[in-house]
Structure 1
Amino acid sequence: MDGNAQLAALMREAGFLKDDGSVGLKVFARAVGQHANRTFTHTYVRRWLDGMVPRDAATRQAIVRALGSRLGRSIAVDEVGFGAALKVSPDLGLTYPNESADNVKTVARLWQGDLDSVSALLNAPANAAAWNEAALSWLVSTRQDVFSDTGKRKVNQADVDGIRSTTEMFDQLDGEHGGGHARRALIEFLRTDLAGLLGGTARDAAVQRDLFKAGAQATLLGAWMSYDAGIHGMAQRYFIQALRIAESTGDRLLGASILDAMSHQATFLGRYREAANLARSARMGTANAGSASAAAHFYAMEARALARLGDAAECDRAMSAAVREFERRDPANDPADWFGYFNESELAV
């Protein structure tokens, strides 16, 4: 087995390792153990230096934190030589999956890569082509997903309620303190709790659909929090995978709300043409959904992007349509209840 030169170099830089490799292994083992809340010996450290990669994310994170604490800077998992073993493609999550099972595997790997601080994901910029592909795939899809009946985890309504209530708690924290405050804790929850449930089986198909709806909303929150924290490449990946989870539920308004969020991100990043197209896709995909509130919001998002493009005529058209849809809305009976905040003041803004 080849040695881990990257780990050795960082340990040497941090003062944990001398050139002959004979000093500091026990000290490093204790430092890692303090971050992992368990005991390691110098034998573990020697194995890591020999090239063994710890299987559990907690140990890998404890290693990078021990190094980061001594060096006074943040260390990513792949800087320690563990990135190749994680086999994380820099394109992970950018493709809109054809199969629901692939979607679940992809988003679980994204959550794990996020927790492992894989720099190829956390430092990646947004990809304009990925927005376009996801929007088109969702818009023209005629898939009828059949949920797995072979999952080992048995899912019930209590599981779904747990996902919803925990997501609401994180949403409240996000609103009070910003996305960077509890983002990692949310991703940890999604990786440890939601991933297993999405791969499980419910006896009642309605429960399974409710689970995927809750999963889409939780993944969407992770995308928003990543966006708020400035981690735009990861946020984009979460948006795309949340959109695919939403498609599995058959709830077109839920999917359109995710496209609406993607349009918001694209506008923020200066990709105004893509932002307008994402908003149009959301509107076109829900033309028969019966939600004037949603239609008004999609038109407004489109107008916002067109204004930044300097297209006055098309911007006026979209804004006129937004006002028209807004005036015919019926908030008490609107199926898109998550657009309830979209009032006169929001439209004016």
Structure 2
Amino acid sequence: MQPRADTAGLIVATLSKAMRRAITLADAGLASSAKLPLNLGLTYPEVLAEGVEAVTQLWQADLDEASVVLKGSVSSPAWSDASLAWLLAASSSVDLAGRGPHVGESDITRFRATIDLFAQMDNRFGGEHARRSLIHYLATDGTRLLHGQASERTRRRLLSEVAEATLLAAWMSYDSGLHSLAQRYFVQALGLAQAADNRLLAASILDAMSHQATFVGRYREAANLARAARQGTTGVATPTLTAHFYAMEARAVARLGDAVACDRALAHAVREFERRNPDDDPEWIRYFDDAELAAEFGHCFRDLGRPAVANQYATQCLGAGGDGTYLRSDFFATMVLADAHLGAGEAEQACFVALDALKIGEQLRSARCVSYLREFSDRLAAVGKSPASEGFHEQATGFSLWQQVLDGQ
């Protein structure tokens, strides 16, 4: 028999203590990966029942540490298939027959408030901090709510909330370096948003897929995902959302070295952004302000080899101030500034700024942050040894994120 997830967790915890080393569910023969299809979560659900089954299975497989979802690389066909299926999908039915207790507005309000807390922890401490706790909550309360009985209006609202929560699971998995798992969560979040008839949220999920695709080096796919988000919301997206879609396209083509396409996308982003009215925006995109747009410009110009302009925008972003709510974003912007100084031949200043980033990131648990540092380390090594670089390495060893860079070398 296969014990429940919490029971299996107690078993491996006891074994780990007895053997004085970490024992995983797979080590103990308790993972259920052998029963799971290899494409779990990668297939865009055609009907709501398929989507509910896939996402609840995926949450449980994640908790079970099933290698089928945790290992492996991302699938380019999964991105293109999901985006095409969403673009062509008709309005879906939500006539899934619930078997559980009645679900009302109070249930959804509690669910939303809890997910908001996880989102705050993600922004402040990184995806690795509370990711597993979020998945456990989704596998319990999320599953219960999805199988509950509700009116069509309530069910659509519930599906939107669960789609947002699954999107958060995707972001936190992506931030933790679990890219295959994150992609599966993105695809299922997209299906839930489509079932909820929430086209703006669905497009934002494609936009997030584009972000991940750029990060893992699939730049053409990333540009196409951002374009699909824009195309699928023509006439209904707010200017803020459209500006973000253009910014994601710009990030992708900048990595390809296509300066003309990048400049064009950024110009469109600015034009749309200048038309925005934050009061018209969904709550989940209101964070995208002048500072966030400047951060996107900084990334693009760094990747295009324009350090002076990248410096200008990264400085503008950091100069906006903040209360630490978006600590990870502050870290990224600071690292872009460090890269810009390095690209301009200012190694000493680059090292000074990178140390500032390490101080900002001391509370963060994020594989993406480690990746930014690893890129900086490679660029610094290419410059050659200097008193500035030697001093940086000496001071950086005292920070946890830098230790992770060293451990990965």
TM range (shorter): 0.7 to 0.9
Secondary structure in structure 2 of the residue aligned to 1:139: helix
Shift of 1:85: 7.5
Structure 2 partner of 1:282:
229
Question: Deviations for 1:87-110, whole angstroms, at most 9, x for unmatched residues?
Answer: 122221011111111111111111
Task: State the percentage of identical aligned residues.
Answer: 49
Question: Deviations for 1:219-273, whole angstroms, at most 9, x for unmatched residues?
Answer: 1111111111111111111111011111111111111111111111111111111
Alignment of 1:206-245 (within 5 A): 206-245=153-192
Structure 1 partner of 2:210:
263
- Is 1:148–1:200's contact at 8 Å kept on the other side of the alignment? no
Structure 2 stretches of 5 or more lacking a match? 296-409
Inter-CA distance 150–194: structure 2 relative to 1 (3 Å threshold): closer
Secondary structure in structure 2 of the residue aligned to 1:164: helix
Secondary structure in structure 1 of the residue aligned to 2:111: helix
Shift of 1:123: 2.0
Is 2:80 aligned against 1:121?
no
The amino acid across from 2:143 in the alignment is: A
Distance (Å, rounded) in 2 between the aligned partners of 1:292 and 1:325:
5
Structure 1 stretches of 5 or more lacking a match? 1-52
Inter-CA distance 150–176: structure 2 relative to 1 (3 Å threshold): closer
Distance (Å, rounded) in 2 between the aligned partners of 1:89 and 1:285:
30
Alignment of 1:185-334 (within 5 A): 185-202=133-150, 204-332=151-279, 334=280
Structure 2 partner of 1:65:
13
Structure 2 partner of 1:38:
none
Shift of 1:73: 4.0
Shift of 1:86: 5.8
Structure 2 partner of 1:33:
none
- Is 1:294–1:336's contact at 8 Å kept on the other side of the alignment? no
Question: Deviations for 1:191-221, whole angstroms, at most 9, x for unmatched residues?
Answer: 011112112221x322111111110111111
Structure 2 partner of 1:145:
93
2:122 to 174, 179, 183: 174
Shift of 1:314: 1.8
Is 2:288 aligned against 1:342?
yes
1:94 to 20, 42, 50: 42
Distance (Å, rounded) in 2 between the aligned partners of 1:243 and 1:96:
8
- Is 1:222–1:235's contact at 8 Å kept on the other side of the alignment? yes
Distance (Å, rounded) in 1 between the aligned partners of 2:47 and 2:175:
29
Inter-CA distance 152–339: structure 2 relative to 1 (3 Å threshold): closer
The amino acid across from 1:115 in the alignment is: L
Distance (Å, rounded) in 1 between the aligned partners of 2:16 and 2:203:
41
Q: Of the two, which has the highest radius of gyration?
A: 1
Distance (Å, rounded) in 2 between the aligned partners of 1:337 and 1:193:
23
- Is 1:227–1:265's contact at 8 Å kept on the other side of the alignment? yes
Distance (Å, rounded) in 2 between the aligned partners of 1:295 and 1:286:
8
Instruction: Identify which range, 281-290 or 336-345, moves more after superposition.
Output: 336-345
- Is 2:242–2:272's contact at 8 Å kept on the other side of the alignment? yes
- Is 2:94–2:155's contact at 8 Å kept on the other side of the alignment? no
The amino acid across from 1:343 in the alignment is: D
Alignment of 1:19-168 (within 5 A): 53-83=1-31, 87-168=35-116
Q: Under a length normalisation based on structure 1, what TM-score does the superposition of the two structures give?
A: 0.80
- Is 1:293–1:336's contact at 8 Å kept on the other side of the alignment? no
Question: Deviations for 1:12-37, whole angstroms, at most 9, x for unmatched residues?
Answer: xxxxxxxxxxxxxxxxxxxxxxxxxx
- Is 2:33–2:61's contact at 8 Å kept on the other side of the alignment? no
Shift of 1:290: 4.2
Distance (Å, rounded) in 1 between the aligned partners of 2:258 and 2:284:
30
RMSD: 1.7
- Is 1:76–1:118's contact at 8 Å kept on the other side of the alignment? no
- Is 1:152–1:200's contact at 8 Å kept on the other side of the alignment? yes
The amino acid across from 2:211 in the alignment is: H
Shift of 1:76: 3.2
Instruction: Identify which range, 93-102 or 74-83, moves more after superposition.
Output: 74-83
Question: Deviations for 1:102-156, whole angstroms, at most 9, x for unmatched residues?
Answer: 1111111111111111122112222121111111111111142233234333111
